[in-house]
């Protein structure tokens, strides 16, 4: 859309350039003449007016074509007015949305509602009791931080709440500027830009850079809608990435594509399973094959590394080697929104081309302040993250020993996904479970279908996992299934339970929760 | 961060501007609850109006006046000139100063980050106007706003803050009801909420991020807009861009007004549905299109469409036009499409009860399938909502990306929504069966004027008065304005790109600084660059007077008065006859 909106301008530019080029070539100093002509249009020669009218005409037709209907096409059928009336009467649309099935209704009913703040021990509306919170993304325990609250009140009394305007039109205030600088300093990049929702950040960043004809290679575990040429590599398998890059290089050579922008898109810690990317290798591959790297650190920023700077800190890779780092301010930092950090040029480019930056109101200053303060607290108090890491370790040391589950998450990941060890076969469709076995054939980079397709019965697995979640809640532990959009994702992820470790939960509670979980998991999943 | 003291340090503001101290001494209790600089004190009950469309009267199409030809031609010539000059500068610059262009030239095997073709408009045209865009501010975007003064040493490539603050009259923020406040009942409610909930929900709606406040706010929103149920998302843009794909997909058609917002277009593109556009607010064009698409069916196969979704906005923020809702609803009956109305700007700002375009036109909200709106504008908060029938909302909760993956709205923002919306509705004496929502809002809202809805009504009526007065006043002065006279957004045409810069600067440097928004291509068609005034309930009549005077003066200077009216009035006559101008049913 954005392209088509710009199209008139492009054609306009192309047109005017070509018409004026001739005179340009003839007269080296023509710019001066044009200025002269413009300022004294009364005595300008007829030709200029003629050209101007032509340009106007070209724009008119172009602008009109946006809404013009195509009644001349090959497939157009001419109807009389009566026939159209009949067709209109006959037509009956499908319902706007199909009504929910039983499983979905159950899904909806099982959403936990907390009363009061989502701290380490929130009270639940359904039971009226408190539970140990292993569901909220309160990784660093900043939710309800008193210092942040105090400053929030002072921001409220000076700035109000809403920004009442997009960043371009007086929506940006000094708190936003400070936050952008804080993020850039924290990560060690030249600049950063903030978006008002974490989730929408990456889906605005990618289209801002990758235009038609550009090549994007993305991890299969990080599926998003893209309109460039997309190739997929196997989830978190960098050999597969290299193979895909080689095949693209070959394609470029044989088809003689012009040089276009090339991107690798992947996540630091994958939201879908908690696996972690091998950053140094990614950077190396990017360098070798001349790809730019877009890294979504929504779940690694603020959770890994000594002070929570994310993968760059963990692997000791300078942040300026990654072209665009995208992250969330809503998870660890207990604010709201997301950011994209990178070179000054890349960031400024988004200020004009990032759709959800340009066309959305700036985030409330108070929440931006919370994120700034969060960064400040993380930097000055490294013990927070070491507590988090201890808790992750505690959880893993107990959960890893359970037989009937697998945990695809990286040991350092603060979100821990629990899947059934043996997939439940879909009833009756006769697909063999051997699909799980590793096949040696490389996967097809143009399709989302992975190499090792696991076949599973989503409904049955989710039901079982929900049983675990319900039982856990009954015993005072708040966890949740990873909620997914079934039927809308190009690739269905395996159902899982998602546990979020938190520095705010004491080591003792974490241990207790893990042991209780162990009992429940063995009981519920072991019996089948 | 700027310290509170410096935000309020107004010692350098000249007296007599009316920005800090009211020109007419306040006589009301407002003094104790509100600050004049963020919410003007105005007790004159005559300066009130009700925003309502007369029932049964068809909405007239607002014709758009064309400027004289010399304006059009000079406008085109300016663009031609800028484009040629830009190409020349690129051509020479790349040879003489290649390091400045390094990011546009492929290097080291990498393609350029952005091609010079793509960025031409930004570098060569927009950058000349950058002085008017992205000006940073501080403090509350209320009746007045404080700009952080900045200078550019290098022709707008970079800006440096000088440390000076400029307080100006704010006719730019979408603060229609004036809820951008640091004092008053809403702010008090938010402060309580900060103490109780903290600032973040810490997760997605489905995964532990739902608090009792979300449930209460959704109940309140559905009651306010008059639908069965609603869902709240933490960003208005994402509310559109993730809901539309959940409604339509392959085999469906979206019919979209040509001026629909970027978030709608984004959502439609992602959904994979076919899209057709109709001329802005043109009902004949829409009907013709409907007849064509229904009779033709899907392209090539001619199969009937699975469903057709019509997406319109209640109030178009660049045009100031209102959707012709009664006509659309009549068409809906005949052509059976589904109707999605984006009320981002109209909710709160239109209608006798502030409930948006349905309220304004007297249309039953239930006759519309989906009502979308945002809280970033009238309610001084953030985020957006979708309201509709219960089964539909239940399905959206599960089926939108935002529902499953995006962070839930912050509890403090929810409190602002509950307090501001509740105060327009009045929640003191809600019927019993609406207990859930009303108990929430009653406990949230402490101040009496908020609870019984009297203060909310005042805001609505003040806004309606200001809006009519300004839009009719500008026409009377001879300016070309677009849009409906009850729209709180009033675009005034400037045409020449160079005048945008001048107008914006001159307004800022006028006797009393006035902060305005100018918009140009690509947000508007190429020729119709404009300034966009957004009025607010927080403005008082003298503010509008001042704005009219400034426009009159600067309009003469810049040759902007090209509108056709029966009889032009002087600015003094307009100011003296403000009540008549604003209140006559059909004044022209
Ligand atoms: C019609 C329309 N829809 C949606 C939005 C996006 O809302 P938000 O700023 O809350 O993201 C806007 C904002 O400008 C708008 O004008």
Residue of B nearest to A38 (CA): B77
Q: Kindly state whether A98 is in contact with chain B, defined as any CB-CB distance less than 8 angstroms.
A: yes
Nearest CA to ligand 1 atom 8: B236
Overall fold of domain B185-447:
3.40.640
A292, part of any domain: yes
**Using CB atoms, which residue from A162, A171, A353 is nearest to B381?**
A162
Q: What is the dihedral of CA B518, B521, B527, B531, to 10 degrees?
A: -10
Classify A132 as helix, strand or coil.
Answer: strand
DSSP H or E segment with residue B72? helix B69-96
Residue B3 pLDDT: 40
CA A392 to chain centre: 24
Domain end (from A333, A365, A380): A380
Cα-Cα-Cα-Cα dihedral of A174, A175, A181, A185, to 10°?
A: 150
Whether the ω angle into residue A322 lies within 30 degrees of 0, i.e. cis, is no
Question: Which parts of chain A have pLDDT scores under 70?
Answer: 1-75, 220-229, 256, 426-443, 446-454, 486-491, 527-528
For residue B377, the chain A residues in CB contact (below 8 A) are 164, 361
List the single residue in A87, A152, A355 with the smallest CB-CB distance to B199. A152
Return the best residue to mutate from B232, B236, B378, B381 for the ligand 1 pocket (most ligand atoms within 8 A of CB): B236
CA dihedral in degrees (B299, B303, B306, B308; nearest 10)? 50
The verdict on the CB of residue B371 being under 6 Å from ligand 1 is no
Q: Do B336 and A17 touch (CB under 8 A)?
A: no
- Distance between A441 CA and the closest CA of chain B, angstroms: 31
* pLDDT score recorded for residue B414: 92
Mutation choice for ligand 1 from B233, B237, B407, CB with most ligand atoms inside 8 A: B237
B268–A1 C-beta distance less than 8 A = yes
- In sequence order, the 6+-apart residues with CB closer than 8 A to the CB of B465 are B47, B48, B49, B541, B582, B583
Distance from Cα B349 to the centre of ligand 1, integer Å: 14
Of A380, A401, A423, which marks where a domain is finished?
A380
Residues A122 and A204 grouped into a single domain: no
What DSSP line would sit under B93-146, residue for residue?
HHHH-GGGGGGGS-BTTBPPSS-HHHHHIIIIIIHHHGGGSS--EES--SSEEE
Domain count, chain A: 2
A34, A77, A370 member nearest B84 (Cβ): A34
Q: Give the residue from chain B lying closest to A345, CA to CA.
A: B103
Could you tell me if B20 and B36 are in contact, meaning their C-beta atoms sit under 8 angstroms apart? yes
Beta strand spans in A112-214 (E): 113-115, 123-124, 132-133, 191-195
* DSSP states along B246-299: HH--TT-EEEEETT--HHHHHHHHHHT-EEEEE-TT-HHHHHHHHHHHHHH-ST
The beta-carbon neighbor of B404 closest among A198, A261, A483 is A483
If we measure between CA atoms, which residue out of A403, A517, A399, A413 comes closest to residue A465? A517
Return the pLDDT at B445: 59
Residue B11 is given by DSSP the state: T
Q: In residues, how long is chain B?
A: 588
Residue the block writes with tokens 């440096």? B160
Domain boundary among A347, A380, A413: A380
Give residue B456's pLDDT. Answer: 84
The answer to whether A497 and A469 are in contact (CB under 8 A) is yes
Burial class (CB in 10 A: 0-12, 13-18, 19+), B303: exposed
Looking at the complex, does the CB of residue A257 fall below 8 Å from at least one CB of chain B?
no
Is any atom of ligand 1 closer than 6 Å to the C-beta of B342? yes
User: Which atom of ligand 1 lies nearest, measured to the CA of A359?
Assistant: 14
Residue A419 is part of which domain span?
Answer: 102-142+384-526
| CB–CB contacts below 8 A, A to B | 450
- Write the residue in B137, B407, B515 that is nearest to A330 by C-beta: B407
- For residue B384, give the ligand 1 atom closest to its CA: 10
- The residue count of chain A comes to 528
- Judge whether B470 and B488 are in contact, CB under 8 Å: no
Residue A441: per-residue pLDDT:
57
CATH of B10-66+455-583, one of 2.60.40.10, 3.90.1150.10, 3.20.20.70, 1.20.120.50: 3.90.1150.10
For chain B, say whether A57 makes contact (Cβ under 8 Å): no
Q: Are residues A138 and A165 in the same domain?
A: no
Chain B within 8 Å of A281 (Cβ-Cβ)?
A: no
pLDDT at B430: 46
Q: How far apart are CA A35 and CA A38, in angstroms?
A: 5
3-state SS class at B68: coil
Asked if B119's CB is within 8 angstroms of A164's CB, the reply is: no
The tens place of each residue's pLDDT in chain B, 588 residues long, gives: 334 433 445 544 545 667 777 766 665 566 666 788 888 888 788 888 888 888 777 877 777 788 888 888 898 898 888 888 988 888 888 888 877 777 777 777 777 777 767 778 888 888 888 888 889 999 899 899 999 999 988 888 888 998 888 889 999 999 999 998 888 888 888 998 898 888 888 888 888 888 888 988 999 999 999 999 999 998 999 899 889 988 998 889 999 998 999 999 989 988 888 899 998 888 999 999 998 888 888 888 888 899 999 999 999 988 899 999 999 999 999 898 999 999 999 999 999 999 999 999 999 999 999 999 999 999 999 999 999 999 999 988 888 776 677 888 999 999 999 989 888 887 754 443 333 333 444 556 555 566 677 788 889 999 999 999 999 999 999 999 998 989 999 999 998 888 999 999 999 999 889 999 999 877 888 888 999 999 999 999 889 999 999 999 999 999 999 888 888 899 999 999 888 888 887 776
Q: Do A160 and B181 touch (CB under 8 A)?
A: yes
Q: Which residues contact A175 (CB under 8 A, 6 or more apart)?
A: A155, A159, A365, A368, A369, A372, B1
Is A11 touching B (CB cutoff 8 A)?
no
C-beta of residue A171 within 8 angstroms of C-beta of residue A163: yes
CB of B316 sitting under 6 A from ligand 1 = no
Check CB contact under 8 Å for A93 and B517.
Answer: no
Residue B48, min C-alpha distance to chain A (Å): 24
CA angle A200, A205, A206 (to 5 degrees): 110
Phi, psi for residue B23 in degrees, rounded to 5 = -70, -40
Instruction: Examine the domain organization and report whether A214 and A347 are in the same domain.
Output: yes
What distance in Å separates the CA atoms of residue A368 and residue A383, rounded to the nearest whole number? 24
Taking CB atoms and an 8 Å limit, are B234 and A197 in contact across chains?
yes
Euclidean distance between CA atoms A163 and B560, whole angstroms: 31
**What is the CATH number for A456?**
3.90.1150.10
Q: A330 — contact with chain B (CB < 8 Å)?
A: yes
Q: Are residues A367 and A390 in the same domain?
A: no
How many whole angstroms separate alpha carbon A313 and alpha carbon A393? 19
Angle at B126 between CA B121 and CA B127, to 5 degrees: 110
Angle (CA) A375-B414-B346 rounded to 5° is 115
**CB neighbour class for B566 (10 Å; exposed up to 12, middle 13-18, buried from 19):** exposed
Instruction: List residues bridging with A420 in a β-sheet.
Output: A405
Whether residues A284 and A395 share a domain: the answer is: no
All residues of chain B having their beta carbon less than 8 Å from the beta carbon of residue A458 are: none
Q: Rounded to an integer, what distance in angstroms lies between the CA atom of residue A143 and that of residue A335?
A: 9
Residue A313 Cα, gap to closest chain B Cα (Å): 24
- On whether the CB atoms of residues A287 and A259 are closer than 8 A, the answer is no
Mode of pairing for the β-strands spanning B384-388 and B489-495 = unpaired
Q: Which residue is listed with tokens 């190499």?
A: A451
Rounded Cα distance, A153 and B515, in Å: 27
Is A462 within the bounds of a domain? Answer: yes
Residues 6+ apart with CB under 8 A from B79: A12, B125, B497, B526
Q: Is the CB of B441 under 6 A from ligand 1?
A: no
Q: By CA distance, what is A134's nearest residue in B?
A: B208
Residue nearest ligand 1's atom 10 by CA = B236
Of the candidates A328, A311, A329, the residue with the CA atom closest to the CA atom of residue A372: A329
Q: Measured from the CA of B238, which atom of ligand 1 is nearest?
A: 11
**Residue B20 CB neighbours (<10 A):** 15
Considering only CB atoms, B202 lies closest to which of A116, A138, A197, namely: A138
Nearest CA to ligand 1 atom 15: B344
Closest CA to B511 of B12, B16, B151: B16
CA A91 to ligand 1 centroid distance, Å: 33
What is the number of other CB atoms lying within 10 angstroms of the CB of residue A386? 13
The minimum-distance atom of ligand 1 relative to the CA of B174 is 14
* Co-location of A365 and A293 in the same domain: yes
Beta bridge partners of B311: B256, B340
CA atoms within 13 A on the CB side of B250: 1
Is A233 found in the same domain as A151? yes
CA distances from A413 to A297, A498, B460 (A): 12, 11, 51
Separation of CA A166 and ligand 1 centre (Å): 9
Domain ranges within chain B, ordered by starting residue: 10-66+455-583, 69-116, 185-447
For residue B235, give the nearest of B428, B30, B374, B75 by alpha carbon: B374
B342 C-alpha vs ligand 1 centroid, how far in Å? 9
> Is A429 a domain residue?
yes
* Distance between Cα B31 and ligand 1 center (Å): 33
When CB atoms are compared, the residue of A13, A63, A161 closest to B416 is A161
CA distance linking residue A455 with residue A496, whole number of Å: 15
Convert A310-366 into a string of H (helix), E (strand) and C (coil). Answer: CHHHHHCCCHHHCCEEEEECCCCCCCCCEEEEECHHHHHHHHHHCHHHHCCCCCCHH
DSSP for B531-544, written as a single string:
EEEE--TT--HHHH
The closest alpha carbon to B458, from B44, B180, B32, belongs to B44
Tokens 């992947």 correspond to what residue? Answer: A266
A358: Cβ below 6 Å to ligand 1?
Answer: no
Task: Give the residue whose CA is nearest to atom 3 of ligand 1.
Answer: B344
**DSSP sequence for B337-356:** -EEEEE-TTTTTTSSTTS-H
Domain CATH code at residue A212: 3.40.640.10
Determine the atom of ligand 1 nearest the C-alpha atom of A361.
Answer: 9
Ligand 1 and B235: CB distance under 6 A: yes
DSSP designation for A452: S
Are A238 and A308 in a shared domain? yes
Interchain proximity B304–A91, CB inside 8 Å = yes
């Amino acid at each position: 859309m954005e392209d088509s909106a710009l199209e008139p301008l492009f054609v306009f530019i192309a047109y005017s350039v070509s018409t004026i080029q001739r005179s340009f070539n003839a007269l080296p100093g023509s710019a001066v003449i044009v200025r002269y002509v413009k300022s004294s249009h009364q005595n300008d020669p007829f030709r200029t007016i003629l050209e101007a009218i032509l340009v106007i005409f070209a724009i008119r037709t172009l602008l009109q074509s946006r809404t013009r209907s195509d009644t001349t096409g090959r497939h157009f059928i001419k109807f009389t007015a009566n026939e159209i009336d009949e067709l209109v009467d006959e037509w009956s649309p499908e319902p706007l949305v199909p009504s929910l099935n039983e499983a979905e209704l159950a899904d909806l009913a099982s959403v936990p509602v907390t009363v009061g703040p989502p701290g380490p021990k929130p009270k639940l509306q359904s039971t009226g009791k408190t539970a140990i919170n292993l569901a909220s993304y309160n990784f660093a325990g900043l939710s309800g931080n008193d210092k942040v609250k105090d400053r929030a009140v002072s921001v409220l009394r000076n700035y109000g709440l809403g920004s009442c305007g997009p960043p371009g039109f007086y929506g940006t205030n000094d708190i936003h500027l400070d936050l952008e600088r804080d993020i850039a300093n924290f990560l060690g990049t030249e600049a950063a830009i903030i978006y008002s929702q974490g989730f929408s950040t990456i889906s605005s960043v990618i289209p801002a850079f990758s235009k038609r004809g550009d090549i994007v290679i993305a991890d299969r575990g990080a599926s998003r809608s893209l309109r460039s040429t997309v190739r997929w590599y196997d989830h978190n398998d960098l050999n597969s990435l290299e193979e895909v890059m080689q095949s693209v290089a070959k394609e470029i050579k044989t088809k003689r594509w012009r040089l276009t922008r090339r991107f690798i898109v992947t996540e630091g810690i994958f939201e879908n399973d908690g696996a972690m990317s091998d950053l140094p290798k990614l950077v190396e591959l990017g360098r070798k094959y001349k790809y730019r790297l877009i890294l979504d650190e929504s779940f690694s920023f603020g959770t890994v590394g000594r002070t929570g700077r994310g993968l760059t800190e963990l692997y000791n890779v300078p942040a300026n080697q990654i072209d665009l780092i995208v992250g969330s301010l809503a998870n660890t930092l207990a604010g709201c929104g997301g950011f994209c950090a990178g070179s000054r040029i890349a960031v400024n480019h988004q200020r004009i081309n990032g759709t959800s930056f340009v066309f959305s109101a700036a985030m409330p200053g108070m929440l931006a302040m919370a994120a700034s303060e969060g960064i400040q607290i993380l930097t000055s108090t490294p013990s927070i993250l070491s507590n988090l890491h201890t808790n992750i370790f505690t959880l893993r040391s107990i959960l890893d020993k359970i037989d009937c589950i697998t945990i695809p998450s990286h040991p350092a990941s603060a979100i821990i996904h629990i899947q059934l060890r043996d997939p439940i076969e879909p009833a009756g469709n006769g697909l063999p479970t051997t699909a799980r076995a590793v096949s040696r054939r490389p996967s097809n980079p143009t399709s989302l279908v992975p190499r090792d397709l696991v076949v599973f019965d989503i409904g049955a697995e989710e039901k079982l996992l929900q049983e675990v979640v319900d039982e856990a809640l009954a015993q005072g532990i708040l966890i949740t299934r990873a909620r997914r959009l079934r039927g809308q994702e190009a690739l269905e992820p395996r159902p899982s339970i998602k546990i979020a470790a938190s520095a705010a939960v004491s080591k003792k509670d974490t241990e207790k929760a893990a042991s209780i979980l162990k009992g429940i998991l063995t009981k519920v999943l072991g019996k089948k | 961060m700027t310290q509170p003291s410096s935000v309020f340090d107004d010692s350098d503001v000249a007296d007599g501007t009316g920005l800090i101290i009211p020109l007419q001494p306040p006589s009301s209790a407002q003094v104790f609850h509100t600050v004049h600089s963020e919410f003007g004190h105005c007790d004159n009950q005559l300066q009130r109006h009700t925003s309502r469309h007369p029932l049964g009267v068809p909405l007239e199409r607002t014709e758009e006046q064309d400027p004289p030809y010399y304006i059009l031609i000079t406008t085109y010539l300016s663009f031609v000139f800028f484009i040629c000059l830009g190409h020349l500068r690129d051509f020479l610059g790349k040879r003489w100063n290649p390091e400045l262009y390094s990011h546009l030239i492929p290097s080291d095997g990498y393609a350029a980050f952005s091609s010079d073709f793509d960025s031409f408009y930004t570098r060569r045209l927009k950058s000349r106007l950058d002085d008017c865009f992205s000006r940073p501010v501080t403090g509350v975007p209320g009746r007045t706003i404080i700009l952080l003064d900045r200078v550019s040493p290098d022709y707008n490539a970079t800006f440096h803050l000088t440390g000076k603050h400029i307080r100006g009259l704010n006719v730019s923020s979408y603060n229609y009801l004036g809820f951008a406040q640091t004092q008053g009942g809403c702010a008090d409610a938010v402060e309580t909420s900060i103490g109780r909930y903290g600032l973040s929900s810490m997760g997605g709606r489905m995964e532990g991020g739902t608090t009792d406040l979300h449930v209460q706010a959704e109940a309140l929103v559905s009651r306010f807009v008059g639908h069965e149920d609603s869902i709240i998302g933490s960003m208005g843009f994402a509310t559109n861009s993730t809901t539309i794909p959940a409604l339509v997909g392959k085999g469906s058609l979206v019919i979209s007004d040509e001026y629909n917002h970027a978030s709608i277009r984004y959502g439609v593109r992602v959904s994979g549905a076919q899209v057709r556009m109709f001329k802005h607010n043109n009902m004949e064009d829409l009907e013709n299109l409907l007849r064509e698409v229904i009779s033709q069916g899907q392209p090539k196969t001619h199969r009937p469409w699975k469903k057709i979704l019509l997406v319109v906005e209640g109030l178009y923020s660049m045009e100031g036009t209102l959707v012709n809702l009664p006509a659309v609803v009549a068409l809906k009956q005949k052509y059976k499409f589904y109707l999605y109305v984006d009320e981002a700007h109209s909710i709160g700002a239109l209608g006798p009860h502030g409930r948006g375009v349905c309220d304004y036109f007297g249309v039953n909200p239930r006759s519309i399938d989906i009502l979308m709106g945002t809280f970033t504008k009238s309610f001084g908060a953030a985020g957006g909502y979708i309201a509709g029938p219960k089964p539909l909302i239940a399905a959206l909760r599960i089926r939108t990306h935002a529902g499953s993956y995006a962070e839930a709205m912050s509890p403090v923002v929810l409190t602002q929504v509950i307090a501001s919306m509740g105060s327009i509705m009045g929640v003191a004496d809600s019927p019993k069966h609406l207990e859930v929502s009303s108990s929430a809002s009653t406990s949230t809202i402490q101040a009496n004027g908020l609870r019984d809805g009297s203060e909310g009504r005042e805001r609505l009526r003040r806004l309606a008065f200001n809006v009519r007065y300004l839009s009719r006043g500008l026409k009377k002065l001879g300016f070309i304005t677009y849009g409906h006279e009850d729209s709180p957004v009033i675009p005034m045409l400037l045409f020449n790109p160079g005048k945008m810069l001048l107008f914006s600067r001159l307004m800022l440097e006028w006797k009393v600084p006035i902060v305005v928004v100018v918009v140009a291509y690509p947000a508007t068609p190429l020729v119709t660059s404009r300034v966009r005034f957004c009025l607010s309930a927080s403005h008082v009549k003298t503010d509008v007077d001042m704005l009219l005077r400034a426009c009159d003066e600067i309009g003469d200077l810049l040759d902007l008065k090209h509108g056709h009216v029966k009889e032009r009035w002087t600015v003094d006559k307009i100011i003296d006859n403000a009540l008549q101008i604003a209140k006559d049913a059909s004044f022209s």
